[in-house]
Amino acid sequence: MSKKTPSNLIAQNKKARHYFELLEFVEAGIVLTGSEMKSIRLGAVNFRDSYVSFREGEAFLIGLHIAPYANAGYSQHDPDRDRKLLLHAKEIGRLALQIEQKGLSLVPVNMHFTRGKVKVELAVGRGKKMHDHRETLKQAAALRDAQREMSSF
């Protein structure tokens, strides 16, 4: 996963790592309207329950909520519309095949600016079971304890 500086990071899907074991990362462009772009610059993005769906050889981001922009006037956008993702046809085919065969999901991990364009980082993820959640929490607690012990020296 590429490191993003805080200045170009717009929003992060923190629950993605909680609910999924993330395996592979892909960066994609996204088709937006003007009022969506203004709202994104304000950081009014919510990833809750969003995922990627494939239809007719194209990828769409479903469930991404971009709040309406207050000063948009009469041309307000639908906050929960399906947004087309910009990926190469080979990438779409490969990801669609991978998700269909192995029972994986394609979830958005974060949204950021790259050279003035809004990009969405997607991850192929396998859903975690309840015992996996507990194991992750145990590892985080052990790591936190070890760091606390190291800092006391």
Domain holding 93: CATH number? Answer: 2.40.280.10
Count of structural domains, the chain: 1
- pTM higher than 0.85: no
Q: How many Å is the Cα radius of gyration of the chain?
A: 18
Average pLDDT over residues 48-73: 90
pLDDT at 153 over 80: no
Residue 2 in any domain: the answer is: no
Is-contact 61 85, C-beta < 8 A? yes
Average pLDDT over residues 141-153: 85
Print the domain residue range for 65.
9-151
How far apart, in whole angstroms, are the C-alpha atoms of residue 28 and residue 86?
Answer: 6
Tokens at residue 19, please? 């609910």
pLDDT at 51 over 80: yes
Segment 12-37, tens digit of pLDDT: 998 888 888 899 999 999 999 888 99
Is-contact 117 29, C-beta < 8 A? yes
How far apart, in whole angstroms, are the C-alpha atoms of residue 50 and residue 53?
Answer: 10
pLDDT at 122 over 60: yes
